[in-house]
Structure 1
Amino acid sequence: MIHYKNKEELELMRQSAQLVSKTLGMLAKEIKPGIQTITLDKLAHDFIKDHGAEPAFLGYGGFPYSLCISPNEQVVHGFPNEDYLEEGDILSVDCGVFMNGFVGDHAYTFEIGEVAPKVKKLLKITKESLYKGIEQMLPGNRVGDISNAIQTYCEKEGFGVVKELVGHGVGRTMHEDPQVPNYGRKGTGKVLKEGITLAIEPMINLGTDKVRFHKDGWTVTTRDNQYSAHFEHDAAIIDGKPTLLSTYKFIYEALGIESDEEEPFLYKTFA
């Protein structure tokens, strides 16, 4: 069953999502060659707790960390560890918090120093596909319209769209209905309505779309060991329009990036 939110609930959800955004922004200053990913996990854990929230991933289904940290060929759900980041790596950081009775859950893939041009293009197209999907969050559209927009945009560039992992509804729990695949046909799936809240998250591979699930029960990697990118936003339909609850602005402020990509989807405070 899909749980639609009223504007008071949406404001509480936005606050949770924004704390994730601030956590990712804090981490953006630390993500560089020579840092251990377990250090990033501890920083995020303490930051979330210091802001009166709980790390939503820690203990979820037995997951043992506060962040999913997935470098290079890891698609999602990677474990933080004592390995050092190196020049040319990429790093997907997926973060969740529980605050105000609601979950915030979103992700960003960072470049570590200078990355190869083909990898830079992978990140660019994956992030752009996220917004292509969000554009389809309109009343009367269907989940398949989101899915198809992401798939079409990425596959025309020759990238592999992961099929085994999907986005999802989000709210009082981490995973709500409906599932939101990154592939599909227009006009199929659940109808989108005012107050729906979704975590849309393209997971796109440089090569094959095929993935491997590891024995730890969590880590997912590409079958051909080529790089994978992952970007995720929490979004809602508010007043008939697709609206972001999360933001990358704190990341961009930390990295000195100028962007107007979120302008069409800005949230307004409700009186």
Structure 2
Amino acid sequence: MAKGTPPAAGESRPDFSKFGTVGFVLIAAALLLYGLNVFDVVDEPIGNDLLIIGGAGALFLLLANIGPLIESLKWGKDGLELNFNSAINADVQRLTAKVGELEIKVDECCGQQSAAPTSRRLTAGAPAPKLEAPHKSRPVLDPDDKNSGRFGGTDHAGGFRLSASFEGGGDWATVNLAVTADGAVADLRPGEAVEFHLHETFPTPIMRRPLRDGAAHLSFTCWGGFTVGVWIPSRGIELELNLAHAPGAPKVIREH
């Protein structure tokens, strides 16, 4: 099961329904202590207590308001781990897709890449040709991982390599994909792009990113491993990488 959707039924999700009540109670307690201190009912200094109780109340009120947007919230080894629900993640993924398409159009219109100049030569003139992705005509070998075996079966070909790094590792993980060209790849053209084919459960399973300075990048949040397929239509190059087998993959990617 995967991958761009929220965890399956039965997995824990914080209940924020009573956070507002708790927040108001804590703030009321802080105000009561403040009043007792003002009228000298309490002799001992309570400034720190007021800050702690009032701050906790404000935090509970904040969580009560943003709670419906949160999928999971816990304290992990790297600090507070907060993941927003699928609706927010879906909006972010759609926005990322639109930004990628806009960047590609800008490269095509301007006839040059926006990255800093390097020794890699950029060929001016007509945009790169676009070939049809061959995976569409290939049979699905694994119904749960439809990209597996349909993008060439290797993470490197034609001077390009697909790699992944990971952040987090609680209920969700951030995956950072990179397609990089080695020194033998030259004559990059305006508007060259990389298609990242994700699991079909993602709101936007095909994401296009511009190939700039010999590299294209894509980051997203998910849970569970699956095969990422890559198609470079201007060069007819296919790549694929099973995230569950990628070096450094966290448990939430390897075992789901």
- What TM-score does the superposition give when structure 2 sets the normalisation length? 0.32
Larger Rg: 2
